[in-house]
Structure formats: C-alpha cells, structure tokens
Amino acid sequence: MFPERLRALRRGENITLKELATALNDHLTKNEKPNTPSQIGNWERGIRTPSYVEAKKLAEYFDVSLDYLTGKTEKDEYDLGKLFLSGKELTFNHQTLSSDDRYEIYQLIDGYLYGRTHRKDTDKFYGKQEELDLHLF
C-alpha cells in the first residue's frame, strides 16, 4: 500500500523523483544522508522501505498522516478549520488568500454550520434551491 500511495501523492503533485529528493533534503540534520531520486524510486516500486524518519518526512511534505501513507486508513480526513488557521499558503482559483481572507472564509463556514444546526425547516428552504454544478470550472 505504501508504494502506491507514495507514487500517487508524488504524481498528484506533479513532481519528479529528483524534485521530491531535493525537497526532502532541504532540512537535513548533521547525521542524515541525503535522499536520492533512485532511493525514492525504490520506495515507490516496493524494492526498499524507508525508515520511520524518512516516512515521517514524506508524510509532512505531502501533508498527510503516517497512517494514510502506510495504508492503515483509507481516508485521510482534513479539518478545514485547522487548514485555514495554519501557516500554509492557500490559494483559490490561482489567487493567494491573505490571512484576512482566510479568517473571513473561516468565519463564513463556521457561521454557516452554526446556522444550519439552528435553522428551522431546513428541508423546505434548501429543497427549493438549485444544486451547484462544480464541474463547470
């Protein structure tokens, strides 16, 4: 499961083995050996297995859990609240969101969810609206 997930994550980010090796080598400690493209290729083919430290670096780089990366969980849940409040750069339709944008969006979602749980006759109200087709973009 690990080789398939690693390959899918790397290809999903559209990065080469060399680019991934370079990114993993950005924060080497004194005693760590640098990662190589062939080493990562061996991990993807299941020929070799990375150490815990290497697997942790991969999980952090791709922002997934170790459980997801190793196949222990099928679904990698993501809390949008934590994402909006994190220090990661976020974009929407190729526009970078400022910290004010992120906070406003967080407040909108939070307000919507609060209102949804306290709204009466939600089926009547939402039953009359059109469904948003997200496949247009």
CA distances from 73 to 25, 46, 52 (A): 27, 19, 17
- Are the beta carbons of 44 and 54 closer than 8 angstroms? no
Given this model, what pLDDT does residue 133 score? Answer: 65
Which band of pLDDT confidence, cut at 50, 70 and 90, is reported for residue 136?
A: low
Residue 104's Cβ-side half-sphere holds a number of Cα atoms within 13 Å equal to 5
Provide the whole-model pTM.
0.56
Q: Position 10: which residue type?
A: R
pLDDT given at position 132: 61
pLDDT surpassing 80 at residue 4: yes
Q: Are 61 and 53 in contact (CB under 8 A)?
A: no
pLDDT tens-digit series, residues 92-132: 888 898 888 888 888 898 888 888 877 765 555 555 556 66
Q: Which residue has the tokens 């991990």?
A: 43
Could you tell me which residues come within 8 angstroms of residue 3 by beta carbon, excluding any fewer than 6 positions away? 43, 44, 45, 46
Rounded CA-CA distance 94/132 in Å is 21
